[in-house]
Protein backbone atom coordinates (compact mmCIF):
# COMPACT_ATOMS: atom_id res chain seq x y z
CA UNK A 1 0.00 0.00 0.00
CA UNK A 2 1.41 3.37 -1.02
CA UNK A 3 1.89 6.01 1.67
CA UNK A 4 -0.52 8.92 1.74
CA UNK A 5 0.89 12.38 2.33
CA UNK A 6 -1.32 15.03 3.86
CA UNK A 7 -1.15 18.43 2.14
CA UNK A 8 -2.71 21.41 3.90
CA UNK A 9 -3.99 23.87 1.28
CA UNK A 10 -4.35 27.48 2.45
CA UNK A 11 -5.57 29.54 -0.49
CA UNK A 12 -4.91 32.95 1.06
CA UNK A 13 -5.86 36.18 -0.68
CA UNK A 14 -5.92 37.94 -4.04
CA UNK A 15 -4.67 35.54 -6.71
CA UNK A 16 -3.94 32.93 -4.04
CA UNK A 17 -7.10 30.84 -4.54
CA UNK A 18 -6.63 30.82 -8.31
CA UNK A 19 -2.97 29.82 -8.05
CA UNK A 20 -3.64 27.10 -5.46
CA UNK A 21 -6.51 25.58 -7.44
CA UNK A 22 -4.37 25.44 -10.58
CA UNK A 23 -1.41 24.00 -8.67
CA UNK A 24 -3.54 21.20 -7.22
CA UNK A 25 -4.89 20.35 -10.69
CA UNK A 26 -1.36 20.22 -12.14
CA UNK A 27 -0.03 18.01 -9.33
CA UNK A 28 -2.96 15.59 -9.60
CA UNK A 29 -2.52 15.36 -13.37
CA UNK A 30 1.24 14.83 -13.05
CA UNK A 31 0.93 12.07 -10.45
CA UNK A 32 -1.99 10.30 -12.15
CA UNK A 33 -4.19 7.56 -10.68
CA UNK A 34 -1.56 6.53 -8.11
CA UNK A 35 -1.51 10.01 -6.55
CA UNK A 36 -0.25 9.58 -2.95
CA UNK A 37 -1.34 13.09 -1.90
CA UNK A 38 -4.46 14.03 0.05
CA UNK A 39 -5.41 17.71 -0.09
CA UNK A 40 -7.34 19.41 2.73
CA UNK A 41 -8.31 23.09 2.66
CA UNK A 42 -8.01 25.50 5.60
CA UNK A 43 -8.66 29.25 5.99
CA UNK A 44 -6.15 32.01 6.78
CA UNK A 45 -5.22 35.44 5.52
CA UNK A 46 -6.48 38.97 5.20
CA UNK A 47 -9.86 37.99 3.74
CA UNK A 48 -10.47 35.68 6.68
CA UNK A 49 -9.35 38.48 9.02
CA UNK A 50 -11.98 40.81 7.57
CA UNK A 51 -14.70 38.20 8.09
CA UNK A 52 -13.75 36.90 11.52
CA UNK A 53 -11.13 39.16 13.12
CA UNK A 54 -8.63 36.28 12.94
CA UNK A 55 -5.95 36.08 10.29
CA UNK A 56 -4.61 32.66 11.30
CA UNK A 57 -7.11 30.46 13.19
CA UNK A 58 -5.62 27.97 15.64
CA UNK A 59 -7.22 24.92 13.89
CA UNK A 60 -5.45 25.94 10.68
CA UNK A 61 -2.13 26.21 12.50
CA UNK A 62 -2.52 22.76 14.07
CA UNK A 63 -3.46 21.25 10.70
CA UNK A 64 -0.39 22.81 9.10
CA UNK A 65 1.83 21.52 11.92
CA UNK A 66 0.49 18.00 11.40
CA UNK A 67 0.66 18.04 7.58
CA UNK A 68 3.50 16.66 5.49
CA UNK A 69 3.55 19.85 3.42
CA UNK A 70 1.63 23.11 3.04
CA UNK A 71 0.50 24.68 -0.23
CA UNK A 72 -0.09 28.43 0.06
CA UNK A 73 -1.03 30.80 -2.74
CA UNK A 74 -0.50 34.35 -1.50
CA UNK A 75 -1.31 36.38 1.59
CA UNK A 76 -2.37 39.94 2.22
CA UNK A 77 -4.70 42.61 0.87
CA UNK A 78 -3.97 46.36 0.58
CA UNK A 79 -5.12 48.23 3.67
CA UNK A 80 -5.96 45.16 5.74
CA UNK A 81 -3.67 45.73 8.71
CA UNK A 82 -3.36 45.31 12.45
CA UNK A 83 -3.51 48.37 14.75
CA UNK A 84 0.30 48.67 14.54
CA UNK A 85 0.12 49.02 10.75
CA UNK A 86 1.55 45.59 9.87
CA UNK A 87 -0.26 43.38 7.36
CA UNK A 88 -2.74 40.85 8.71
CA UNK A 89 -2.21 38.53 5.74
CA UNK A 90 1.44 37.91 6.63
CA UNK A 91 0.67 36.30 9.99
CA UNK A 92 0.27 32.90 8.33
CA UNK A 93 3.71 32.60 6.78
CA UNK A 94 5.58 34.38 9.55
CA UNK A 95 4.11 32.29 12.37
CA UNK A 96 4.81 29.07 10.49
CA UNK A 97 8.42 30.08 9.84
CA UNK A 98 9.15 30.94 13.45
CA UNK A 99 7.12 28.30 15.31
CA UNK A 100 7.88 25.38 12.98
CA UNK A 101 11.47 26.55 12.43
CA UNK A 102 11.15 26.65 8.63
CA UNK A 103 14.53 28.30 8.32
CA UNK A 104 15.38 27.71 4.64
CA UNK A 105 13.40 29.62 2.01
CA UNK A 106 14.42 28.08 -1.31
CA UNK A 107 13.64 30.28 -4.32
CA UNK A 108 14.45 28.69 -7.71
CA UNK A 109 14.92 31.30 -10.44
CA UNK A 110 14.74 29.67 -13.88
CA UNK A 111 13.84 31.03 -17.30
CA UNK A 112 11.69 28.46 -19.09
CA UNK A 113 11.18 27.89 -22.79
CA UNK A 114 8.39 30.07 -24.15
CA UNK A 115 8.55 32.62 -21.34
CA UNK A 116 9.94 36.00 -22.44
CA UNK A 117 12.39 37.78 -20.17
CA UNK A 118 12.52 41.58 -20.00
CA UNK A 119 16.30 41.28 -20.18
CA UNK A 120 17.64 41.80 -23.68
CA UNK A 121 19.13 38.78 -25.43
CA UNK A 122 18.39 36.34 -22.59
CA UNK A 123 16.85 32.99 -23.57
CA UNK A 124 15.66 29.84 -21.82
CA UNK A 125 18.52 28.17 -19.96
CA UNK A 126 20.52 31.37 -19.51
CA UNK A 127 19.03 31.99 -16.05
CA UNK A 128 19.00 29.07 -13.63
CA UNK A 129 19.98 29.69 -10.01
CA UNK A 130 18.63 29.52 -6.45
CA UNK A 131 18.23 32.31 -3.94
CA UNK A 132 18.44 30.76 -0.48
CA UNK A 133 16.90 33.12 2.04
CA UNK A 134 17.41 32.61 5.78
CA UNK A 135 13.82 32.49 6.94
CA UNK A 136 13.77 32.66 10.74
CA UNK A 137 16.22 35.40 11.76
CA UNK A 138 17.46 38.66 10.27
CA UNK A 139 15.44 41.84 10.42
CA UNK A 140 12.08 40.07 10.20
CA UNK A 141 12.68 38.31 13.50
CA UNK A 142 11.81 41.67 15.09
CA UNK A 143 8.17 41.50 13.93
CA UNK A 144 5.93 42.15 16.91
CA UNK A 145 8.81 43.00 19.23
CA UNK A 146 10.05 46.34 17.94
CA UNK A 147 9.50 49.62 19.77
CA UNK A 148 7.58 52.74 18.84
CA UNK A 149 8.41 55.56 21.24
CA UNK A 150 5.96 58.44 21.63
CA UNK A 151 5.21 58.48 17.92
CA UNK A 152 8.69 59.82 17.23
CA UNK A 153 11.17 56.92 17.21
CA UNK A 154 10.72 53.41 15.84
CA UNK A 155 13.26 50.61 16.40
CA UNK A 156 13.48 47.06 15.01
CA UNK A 157 16.47 44.82 15.72
CA UNK A 158 18.30 42.69 13.15
CA UNK A 159 19.11 39.30 14.68
CA UNK A 160 21.85 36.95 13.45
CA UNK A 161 23.00 33.86 15.36
CA UNK A 162 25.98 31.64 14.61
CA UNK A 163 23.84 28.50 14.57
CA UNK A 164 21.28 30.14 12.28
CA UNK A 165 23.92 31.28 9.81
CA UNK A 166 25.76 27.95 9.84
CA UNK A 167 22.71 25.89 8.94
CA UNK A 168 21.53 28.17 6.12
CA UNK A 169 25.03 28.37 4.65
CA UNK A 170 25.44 24.58 4.82
CA UNK A 171 22.12 24.23 3.02
CA UNK A 172 23.44 26.54 0.30
CA UNK A 173 26.54 24.43 -0.25
CA UNK A 174 24.51 21.22 -0.31
CA UNK A 175 22.19 22.71 -2.94
CA UNK A 176 25.21 23.75 -5.00
CA UNK A 177 26.60 20.21 -4.82
CA UNK A 178 23.31 18.85 -6.15
CA UNK A 179 23.20 21.35 -9.03
CA UNK A 180 24.70 21.41 -12.49
CA UNK A 181 26.48 24.69 -11.80
CA UNK A 182 25.91 28.18 -13.19
CA UNK A 183 24.56 28.40 -16.77
CA UNK A 184 27.39 30.65 -18.01
CA UNK A 185 30.37 28.51 -16.99
CA UNK A 186 29.07 25.33 -15.32
CA UNK A 187 30.83 26.21 -12.05
CA UNK A 188 29.17 25.12 -8.83
CA UNK A 189 29.40 28.21 -6.66
CA UNK A 190 27.79 29.81 -3.64
CA UNK A 191 27.54 33.60 -3.47
CA UNK A 192 27.26 35.20 -0.04
CA UNK A 193 25.11 38.32 -0.32
CA UNK A 194 25.39 40.80 2.56
CA UNK A 195 26.19 44.36 3.60
CA UNK A 196 29.38 43.51 5.43
CA UNK A 197 31.06 46.80 4.57
CA UNK A 198 28.59 48.75 6.74
CA UNK A 199 26.97 46.60 9.45
CA UNK A 200 28.57 44.27 11.99
CA UNK A 201 25.67 41.81 11.76
CA UNK A 202 26.41 41.24 8.07
CA UNK A 203 30.16 41.15 8.62
CA UNK A 204 29.44 38.39 11.13
CA UNK A 205 27.29 36.57 8.53
CA UNK A 206 30.17 36.76 6.06
CA UNK A 207 32.77 35.53 8.56
CA UNK A 208 30.65 32.49 9.46
CA UNK A 209 30.06 31.84 5.75
CA UNK A 210 33.82 31.76 5.19
CA UNK A 211 34.27 29.30 8.07
CA UNK A 212 31.65 26.92 6.69
CA UNK A 213 33.03 27.23 3.16
CA UNK A 214 36.23 25.48 4.26
CA UNK A 215 34.21 22.25 4.58
CA UNK A 216 33.25 22.45 0.88
CA UNK A 217 36.50 22.78 -1.08
CA UNK A 218 34.77 21.46 -4.21
CA UNK A 219 32.43 24.47 -4.35
CA UNK A 220 33.56 27.93 -5.52
CA UNK A 221 32.69 30.85 -3.24
CA UNK A 222 32.39 34.59 -3.58
CA UNK A 223 30.96 37.63 -1.78
CA UNK A 224 28.61 40.32 -3.11
CA UNK A 225 27.20 43.39 -1.41
CA UNK A 226 23.44 43.51 -1.72
CA UNK A 227 23.33 46.76 -3.68
CA UNK A 228 25.80 45.38 -6.21
CA UNK A 229 23.86 42.12 -6.33
CA UNK A 230 20.74 44.00 -7.46
CA UNK A 231 22.76 45.14 -10.46
CA UNK A 232 24.42 41.76 -11.09
CA UNK A 233 21.08 39.91 -11.27
CA UNK A 234 20.14 42.13 -14.20
CA UNK A 235 23.51 42.37 -15.99
CA UNK A 236 24.94 38.85 -15.50
CA UNK A 237 22.27 36.45 -14.18
CA UNK A 238 23.94 33.49 -15.90
CA UNK A 239 26.90 33.78 -13.53
CA UNK A 240 24.98 32.63 -10.45
CA UNK A 241 24.35 29.16 -9.08
CA UNK A 242 23.28 29.51 -5.41
CA UNK A 243 22.94 32.83 -3.57
CA UNK A 244 22.58 32.82 0.22
CA UNK A 245 21.44 35.83 2.22
CA UNK A 246 19.81 37.22 5.33
CA UNK A 247 16.01 37.23 5.54
CA UNK A 248 15.15 40.73 4.28
CA UNK A 249 17.78 40.85 1.55
CA UNK A 250 16.62 37.46 0.25
CA UNK A 251 13.03 38.71 0.22
CA UNK A 252 13.85 41.77 -1.87
CA UNK A 253 16.27 40.08 -4.27
CA UNK A 254 13.91 37.19 -4.98
CA UNK A 255 11.25 39.62 -6.28
CA UNK A 256 13.80 41.31 -8.52
CA UNK A 257 14.98 37.91 -9.76
CA UNK A 258 11.39 36.82 -10.41
CA UNK A 259 10.90 39.77 -12.75
CA UNK A 260 13.82 38.56 -14.91
CA UNK A 261 12.15 35.17 -15.54
CA UNK A 262 8.62 36.35 -16.31
CA UNK A 263 7.17 37.59 -13.03
CA UNK A 264 6.21 36.38 -9.56
CA UNK A 265 3.98 33.67 -11.01
CA UNK A 266 7.08 31.98 -12.46
CA UNK A 267 9.05 32.04 -9.20
CA UNK A 268 7.84 29.55 -6.58
CA UNK A 269 9.42 29.05 -3.17
CA UNK A 270 9.73 26.13 -0.78
Catalytic residue set: 140, 195, 227, 251, 255
3-state secondary structure of 132: strand
Are 179 and 188 in contact, with CB atoms under 8 Å apart?
A: yes
SS (H, E, C) 33-72: HHCCEEEEECCCCHHHHHHHCCCCCHHHHHHHHHCCEEEE
Helix (H) or strand (E) holding 97: helix 91-99
DSSP 5: E
Q: Please report how many Cα atoms fall inside a 13 Å half-sphere around the Cα of residue 226, on the Cβ side.
A: 24
Are 246 and 214 in contact, with CB atoms under 8 Å apart?
A: no
Ordered strands of the 242-245 beta sheet: 104-110, 128-134, 242-245, 189-194, 220-225
Rounded Cα distance, 172 and 245, in Å: 10
Amino acid sequence: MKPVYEIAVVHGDGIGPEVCAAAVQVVKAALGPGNPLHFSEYPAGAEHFLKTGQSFPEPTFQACRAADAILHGAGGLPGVVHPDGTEAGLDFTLRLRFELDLYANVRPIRLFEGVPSPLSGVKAGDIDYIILRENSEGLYAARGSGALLRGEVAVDTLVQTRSGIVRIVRKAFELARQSGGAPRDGVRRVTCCDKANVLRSYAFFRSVFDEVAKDYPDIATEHALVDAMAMHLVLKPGHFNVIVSENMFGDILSDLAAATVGGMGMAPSA
